[in-house]
């Protein structure tokens, strides 16, 4: 084989899904474990608490070709998306002053806020560097990761600005999570899809479905917060409400019951009462119904893409996991 053929071969490498998923997880851990010495202490700590890689799963599912194989570039992009997600979590923990995440002490708690801010910046640039390393440069440009990153930052900022805002409307709440959470799911679906199709209309459908999945994921996550609070007798888990994050279950409960709304606004409701009341007023039931509408839209879009059964099943796994839950 000539060098050129070897290169083409490596560019063209394709994997079975399970194999690709394993490779992605290994790649993420490798990047965290083999960071430059100065930062390895921090990144190695983060490697202990990587998540379920749902965004990477979605990206690789959307990238499957006619033979249901995942191209090597999808593994690279999926690793980048997970590192980007990790970067946002590190900064989130600084912002929220969080002590633990996924049962592990946060970076900011263990090493201080300064190290955490910089380490988040490092992961962010590492993710973009990794994403831009795929051999098909025009693909990378089409994806436009920095643009998605802008949207995510703005979602975060709008959430921060609306911290403690008990007048937040359903509409504005949905538009916040569209940036904060759904943009990265959309980027994942987009990144995978552009490796499997050139059809602009289909690309838009994939992106739309990715966005819907992100909405489902965040809405269900918001419900978990209320349901956990209720059942787990609030150990030292700090809840959304106690951090001033106003989510759909509470918004709906307040919309349903004016006197409750007045009491909350006047600070007359304890956290414990609030959780009970939100469940009673159907706050989480309503939120799940909204998520259900996104579920319907997403599966409809995915059904219209004309996919193989295997590919459709992989993508629907992401939709189902977002809806029926795995914790982040």
Q: Rule CB under 8 A: is residue 183 a binding residue for its own copies?
A: no
Confirm or reject binding of residue 174 to its own copies (CB under 8 A): no
Token pair listed for 147: 């643009």
> What's the min distance (Å) between Cβ of 132 and its own copies?
6
Taking CB under 8 A as the rule, does residue 231 contact its own copies? no
Q: Cα 111 from chain centroid?
A: 25
**Binding range to its own copies, per CB under 8 A, among 11-19, 114-122, 205-213, 310-318:** 114-122
Cβ at position 313, least distance to its own copies in Å: 34
Measured from the CB atom, the residue of 124 and 307 that comes closer to its own copies is 124
Out of 141, 167, 242, 280, the residue judged to bind its own copies by CB under 8 A: 141
The answer for residues whose C-beta is within 8 angstroms of residue 187's C-beta and 6 or more apart is 81, 143, 145, 148, 210
User: Which one, 162 or 239, has the nearer CB to its own copies?
Assistant: 162
> Residue 112: which residues within 8 A CB-CB, separation 6 or more?
none
| 58/120 with CB nearer its own copies | 120
**Dihedral, 245, 297, 186, 291 alpha carbons, nearest 10:** 20
| Residue 126 engages its own copies in binding (rule: CB under 8 A) | yes
- 168: Cα separation from own chain's centroid: 23
In whole angstroms, what is the distance from residue 66 CA to residue 101 CA? 39
Looking at 47, 95, 290, 316, which residue binds its own copies (CB under 8 A)?
95
- The nearer residue to its own copies, 138 or 231, going by C-beta atoms, is 138
Segment near its own copies (CB under 8 A); pick from 4-12, 15-23, 90-98, 305-313: 90-98
The least CB distance from residue 280 to its own copies, in Å, is: 32
Beta-carbon contacts of residue 232 (< 8 Å; ≥ 6 apart): none
Residue the block writes with tokens 């802008």: 150
Buried b / exposed e along 203-235 (16+ C-beta atoms within 10 A): bebbbbbbbbbbbbbbbbbbbebbebbeeeeee
* Residue 313 lies near its own copies (rule: CB under 8 A): no
Count of residues of this chain found to bind its own copies when the rule CB under 8 A is applied: 36
* Residue range at the interface with its own copies (CB under 8 A); choices 4-12, 107-115, 233-241, 275-283: 107-115
Q: How far is the CB of 118 from its own copies (least distance, A)?
A: 5
Contacts 24+ apart (CB under 8 A), 258-263: 261/166
Residues 6+ apart with CB under 8 A from 270: none
Strands (E), the chain: 14-15, 70-71, 100-101, 104-105
The answer to whether residue 156 forms part of the interface with its own copies (CB under 8 A) is yes
Tokens 């590919």 — which residue?
311
Query: According to the binding rule CB under 8 A, does residue 208 interact with its own copies?
Result: no
**In terms of Cα–Cα distance, which of 102, 120, 124, 101 is closest to 42?**
120
Residue 113 in the binding site for its own copies (CB under 8 A): yes
Q: Considering only residues 6, 12, 104, 146, which one is a binding residue for its own copies as defined by CB under 8 A? A: 146
- As a whole number of angstroms, the distance between CA 227 and CA 281 comes to 13
Range 28-47, binding its own copies (CB under 8 A): 36, 38-39
Q: Interface with its own copies by CB under 8 A: which range of 68-76, 126-134, 263-271, 316-324?
A: 126-134
Residues that bind its own copies (CB under 8 A): 36, 38-39, 91, 94-95, 113-115, 117-122, 124-126, 128-129, 132, 137-138, 141, 144, 146-147, 149-150, 153-154, 156-158, 160-161
């Amino acid at each position: 084989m000539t060098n050129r053929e070897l290169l083409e071969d490596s560019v063209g490498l394709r994997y079975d899904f399970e194999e690709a998923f394993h490779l992605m997880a290994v790649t993420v851990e490798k990047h965290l474990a083999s960071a430059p010495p100065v930062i390895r202490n921090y990144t190695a700590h983060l490697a202990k608490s990587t998540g379920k890689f749902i965004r990477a799963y979605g990206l690789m599912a959307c990238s499957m070709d006619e033979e249901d194989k995942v191209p090597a570039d999808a593994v690279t992009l999926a690793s980048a998306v997970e590192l980007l997600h990790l970067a946002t979590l590190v900064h989130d923990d600084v912002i929220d002053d969080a002590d633990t995440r996924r049962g592990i002490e946060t970076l900011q708690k263990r090493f201080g806020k300064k190290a955490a801010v910089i380490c988040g910046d490092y992961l962010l640039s590492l993710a973009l560097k990794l994403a831009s390393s795929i051999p098909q440069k025009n693909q990378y440009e089409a994806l436009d990761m920095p643009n998605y990153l802008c949207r995510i930052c703005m979602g975060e900022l709008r959430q921060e600005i609306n911290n403690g805002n008990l007048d937040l409307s359903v509409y504005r709440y949905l538009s916040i999570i569209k940036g904060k959470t759904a943009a990265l799911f959309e980027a994942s679906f987009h990144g995978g899809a552009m490796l499997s199709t050139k059809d602009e209309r289909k690309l838009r459908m994939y992106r739309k479905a990715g966005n819907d999945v992100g909405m489902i994921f965040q809405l269900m996550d918001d419900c978990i917060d209320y349901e956990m609070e209720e059942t787990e007798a609030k150990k030292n888990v700090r809840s959304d409400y106690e951090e001033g994050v106003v989510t759909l279950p509470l918004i709906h409960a307040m919309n349903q019951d004016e006197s409750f709304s007045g009491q909350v606004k006047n600070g007359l409701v304890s956290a414990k009462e609030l959780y009970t009341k939100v469940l009673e007023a159907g706050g989480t039931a309503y939120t799940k119904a909204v998520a259900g509408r996104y579920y319907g839209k997403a599966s409809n879009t995915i059904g219209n893409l004309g996919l193989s059964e295997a590919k459709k099943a992989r993508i629907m796994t992401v939709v189902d996991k977002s809806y029926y839950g795995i914790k982040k």
